[in-house]
Amino acid sequence: MSSSSCKRTELSIIILDQWLASEVSPIRTSRLTPMASPCGISELPPSLPCMIINSHPARLVSSSYCEAQYAVQRPPVPYANQTEEKSLVSEKGFKSVRGYLTEGRFLTFEASGYALTNLGAKCATYNATKAVASHDGTGQRWVIHETATDSRLYTISTAVDGRYIGPHLSLVSQKDALVHSITYLGGGKGYEVLNANGKYITIDTNGTVVMATSGQGFTIYSVT
């Protein structure tokens, strides 16, 4: 949503969000996410959109024009051609995360060119290693577990051996796991990770994990 070709879409989202905030404010409760926030938009785009003159206006009449080009608009679903084995296949890949976090996926936490990492069962603590373009390092994958529905509080386990993030950079069993608040900052700033002891997880420019009194924006990727 941040590319120049999407400026008009960004503007539309912001205008609609502001209208909802001013006109139907009783409906907008604290549980509703601002529409622009999950898209990483925090302000109006500085440039005006480039208007494209269409030489074939008949092609802009939406679905009715498209449907008229084909005798069968809704082909039958090929149920018989899909097996249970094929239906469970997931392709490898990644996508940056925005907005409210959900469970059920591997996540990487990246900042300053590094990613939070569990180097293996022999390591009593987690640290940071260089982030990779594919975001697929097994040691860099983590799983969040929400403590209760809509609590926005999570314990965080590693994909390597299932241990959890504990106090003082330690990796511990589930019963000793430390609860974290993971807050989306919006505007492309990422997420802050604050533990129950009031310390933020951060990574400095040398790749050292530091428990700090002020937060740092992590870019989080969902990985399959």
Question: Average pLDDT for residues 204-218, to the nearest whole number?
Answer: 96
Are 106 and 181 within one domain? yes
- pLDDT, residue 97, reads 94
Q: In this structure, is residue 75 part of a structural domain?
A: no
* Number of structural domains found in the chain: 2
The pLDDT-based confidence of 2 (bands split at 50, 70, 90) is: very low
- pLDDT, residue 70, reads 85
CA angle, 112 then 167 then 169, to 5°: 35
More confident residue, 151 or 65: 151
Are 197 and 100 within one domain? yes
Are 128 and 207 within one domain? yes
Q: In this structure, is residue 152 part of a structural domain?
A: yes
Are 17 and 99 within one domain? no
* Burial status of residue 135 (CB atoms within 10 A of its CB: 0-12, 13-18, 19 or more): buried
Are 214 and 105 within one domain? yes
* End residue of a domain, out of 11, 36, 70: 70
Residue 59 has pLDDT above 70, yes or no: no
Question: Average pLDDT for residues 86-91, to the nearest whole number?
Answer: 75
Are 39 and 102 within one domain? no
Residue 21 has pLDDT above 50, yes or no: yes
- Mean confidence (pLDDT) of the chain: 82
CB 47 within 8 A of CB 8: no
- pLDDT, residue 95, reads 93
Q: In this structure, is residue 88 part of a structural domain?
A: no
Q: In this structure, is residue 1 part of a structural domain?
A: yes
Question: Average pLDDT for residues 174-190, to the nearest whole number?
Answer: 94
Q: In this structure, is residue 151 part of a structural domain?
A: yes
More confident residue, 135 or 22: 135
* End residue of a domain, out of 35, 54, 70: 70
User: Which residue intervals of 38-194 are DSSP H helices?
Assistant: 62-68, 84-87
Q: In this structure, is residue 87 part of a structural domain?
A: no
Question: Average pLDDT for residues 77-99, to the nearest whole number?
Answer: 81
Lowest mean pLDDT among 91-95, 123-127, 154-158, 161-165: 91-95
The pLDDT-based confidence of 148 (bands split at 50, 70, 90) is: very high
| pTM of structure | 0.67
> In 3-state terms, what secondary structure has residue 98?
coil
- pLDDT, residue 23, reads 56
What are the strands, taking DSSP E only, across 54-96? 94-96
CB 44 within 8 A of CB 8: no
Contacts of 211 (CB under 8 A, 6+ apart): 168, 169, 195, 199, 200, 201, 202
* End residue of a domain, out of 35, 70, 105: 70
Domain limits at 16? 1-70
The pLDDT-based confidence of 121 (bands split at 50, 70, 90) is: confident
More confident residue, 39 or 29: 39
Report the CATH number at residue 144.
2.80.10.50
Are 177 and 130 within one domain? yes
Are 98 and 1 within one domain? no
Q: In this structure, is residue 169 part of a structural domain?
A: yes
